[in-house]
A and B are shown apart, each in its own frame.
Chain A
Amino acid sequence: QLVESGGGLVQPGGSLRLSCAASGFTFSTYSMSWVRQAPGKGLEWVSYISTSSSPIYYADSVKGRFTISRDNAKNSLYLQMHSLGAEDTAVYYCARGYLENTFDMWGQGTMVTVSS
Chain B
Amino acid sequence: EIVLTQSPGTLSLSPGERATLSCRASQSVSGNYLAWYQQKPGQAPRLLIYGISSRATGIPDRFSGSGSGTDFTLTISRLEPEDFAVYYCQQYDSTLWTFGQGTKVEIK
Contact = CB atoms under 8 A, between A and B. Distances in A.
Given A42-B99, A48-B97, A57-B96, A100 B50 contact: yes
Contact of A108 (B44, B99, B101): B44
Given A100-B35, A100-B50, A104-B47, A43 B56 contact: no
A93 B43 CA distance: 11
Interface in A15-66: 33, 35, 42-45, 48, 55, 57, 59
* Main secondary structure on A side of the interface with B: strand
A90 B45 CA distance: 15
A48 B45 CA distance: 17
Interface of B: 31-35, 37, 39, 44-47, 50-51, 54, 56-57, 88, 90, 92, 95-102
7 contacts: A42-B99, A59-B96, A100-B34, A100-B35, A102-B90, A104-B56, A106-B46
Interface string A48-90: 1000000101010000000000000000000000000000000
